[in-house]
Chain A
């Protein structure tokens, strides 16, 4: 039967993907593994933003705030008490938190749930606003979260940030093959797979269609019985949950977090990914997340001094972001915001369905 064939196909894809991750984990060097890990994290972040912005049509600029919540939660729950003591040298940590610890999976899920809770609390009042105001309000909340993090010295260590977040490395398998351990890709990788599955299933379901209806025409949607508020909050909360998960994975991937990491620029990077991949386009987002992440790294050379042999250009920090901003604006202005989708279409010769 067709349905079972589909399920089988998907299971095979997933198994192959996981095996590929295991293999790559062993044979890429640790820098490349880190980049790949980052790709997976940005897939999760891109999809979570696409759910809110692309599929439901809510222009939210608050993503960084939810990521921060996820990141700090995971950091606090996974750092050893000794690490915490070392970090909180300016002002001691809240005693209740010093010994608070949890296994990574629980910490990650807690980060997601806490972010979702904030998403729900923030969404409730704010999602009634229209486009522009919603953008500014969510941006506002993201900034408030960041300012609060800077100021709650005894919980978050304020502007000093947190260092020494234990990284999830693949010691076990690396040991078997006698290779130096690197970041375990499976955490972010499997999280990404689950996220992709979740979003796909959600968007094919009746609720997903309701989200799209809201995006297309709110007035018609509510006249057909769709409770706008309930569905907007639902989309926003799920998106925030995934943003929290992404933030948590980012924390262990970097090993160090501080409030400046969660400025608006972070949200902007994800917007870049979503716009380039196509708003409301799952496969586009996946591809663009990987392309943008790799490109950001690859173009790092633009910030540095380039040696042409006979000429050496000076280090130009900021050039990388200038180039990216120009690319994004060119894409947006010349209306090819489905650039990756159209390339996909041409390659496959058929229309990519959502």
Chain B
């Protein structure tokens, strides 16, 4: 493999890793507070891409505005989802909530098929993003640079929110000890809604960027990335944002490198994530950056 090819794979892997990271954060934020796997998160990702699609096609607004609005709208959808499907079940047995989550996921997918139609749609990316540029003799698609860049900026903003704002502090408190934090007068519903909003916003950005890089949209496009990103969050240590990012990159880079070095195994690319998952669950179930919680009897 030439240096050129290797660097290209590296660029792809980094892009994919960034996308996975953006989505994984949503999972980890929600799980950290509610101990809930938001199965519908992958479908929120899908929604973000579609809303942006319709925004560009049916409104005269400039693309950057559409992208921002689509992400905000998707964030609100995530918020509403929580209110309808999860809030009523707070305190119910875990299995019940999981079932509601899976149900919500299927609902969104099938609504997608119903409303958007099952046939693939081409994502209308802004022209310049598809340019190929030359860095030190290596040709890389501009989009492969934009994606990690945008991800980095969003991460920095997120970190600022979590570490330096009161809402962020409330989120951290709730994820450390739900009961104690709720007794401290924190507006739980507000914090949870905010968490879902952020997670869904980031997933929408991920969906839009995904649409630019892999321009085919179908309503079930969220299933695999959704599952893989949850796995990424688990690998990194569920509940831990750094872990989610780390997991996303491990998965993204790993997947691309697998295909790069072992092209015969391309068909197994999806299984890669699951195999990594099983390995992590067997060796260090709390994830690479996770902490162990002792059982209270």
Chain A residues packing against B (C-beta within 8 Å): 53, 59, 125-126, 129, 131-133, 135-137, 139-141, 143-144, 147-148, 150-151, 219, 264-265, 268, 271, 275, 279, 316-319, 321-322, 325-326, 328-329, 332-333, 335, 337
With A143-B270, A144-B271 as contacts: A326 and B107 at CB distance below 8 Å: yes
On whether the beta carbons of A321 and B106 are closer than 8 Å, the reply is: yes
Q: How far is the CB of A284 from chain B (nearest CB, A)?
A: 16
Q: Identify the closest chain A residue to B286 (Cβ).
A: A133
User: Contacts of A271 on B, CB cut-off 8 Å?
Assistant: 99, 102
With A318-B113, A318-B118, A337-B96 as contacts: A132 and B103 at CB distance below 8 Å: no
User: Contacts of A135 on B, CB cut-off 8 Å?
Assistant: 37, 98
Q: How far is the CB of B261 from chain A (nearest CB, A)?
A: 17
With A144-B275, A326-B107 as contacts: A137 and B95 at CB distance below 8 Å: no
The docked-state distance in angstroms from the alpha carbon of A337 to that of B89 is 13
The docked-state distance in angstroms from the alpha carbon of A146 to that of B113 is 23
On whether the beta carbons of A329 and B110 are closer than 8 Å, the reply is: no
Chain B residues packing against A (C-beta within 8 Å): 31, 35, 37, 85, 88-89, 92, 94-96, 98-100, 102-104, 106-107, 110-114, 118, 223, 227, 230-231, 234, 267-268, 270-271, 273-275, 277-278, 281-282, 285, 295, 297
For the residues of B in contact with A, the DSSP-based class is helix
Q: How far is the CB of B47 from chain A (nearest CB, A)?
A: 15
On whether the beta carbons of B227 and A321 are closer than 8 Å, the reply is: no
The docked-state distance in angstroms from the alpha carbon of A131 to that of B270 is 23
On whether the beta carbons of B114 and A319 are closer than 8 Å, the reply is: yes
On whether the beta carbons of B278 and A322 are closer than 8 Å, the reply is: no
Q: How far is the CB of B275 from chain A (nearest CB, A)?
A: 7
Q: Identify the closest chain B residue to A59 (Cβ).
A: B95
On whether the beta carbons of A132 and B270 are closer than 8 Å, the reply is: no
On whether the beta carbons of B227 and A139 are closer than 8 Å, the reply is: yes
On whether the beta carbons of B114 and A317 are closer than 8 Å, the reply is: yes
**In the complex, which of the residues A140, A144, A264, A271 has the most CB atoms of chain B within 10 Å of its own CB atom?**
A140
User: Contacts of A265 on B, CB cut-off 8 Å?
Assistant: 106
The docked-state distance in angstroms from the alpha carbon of A329 to that of B103 is 6
On whether the beta carbons of A136 and B234 are closer than 8 Å, the reply is: yes
On whether the beta carbons of B106 and A268 are closer than 8 Å, the reply is: yes
On whether the beta carbons of B267 and A140 are closer than 8 Å, the reply is: no
On whether the beta carbons of A143 and B103 are closer than 8 Å, the reply is: no
User: Contacts of A319 on B, CB cut-off 8 Å?
Assistant: 110, 114
**In the complex, which of the residues B88, B111, B274, B275 has the most CB atoms of chain A within 10 Å of its own CB atom?**
B274
Q: Identify the closest chain B residue to A320 (Cβ).
A: B110
The docked-state distance in angstroms from the alpha carbon of A329 to that of B37 is 16
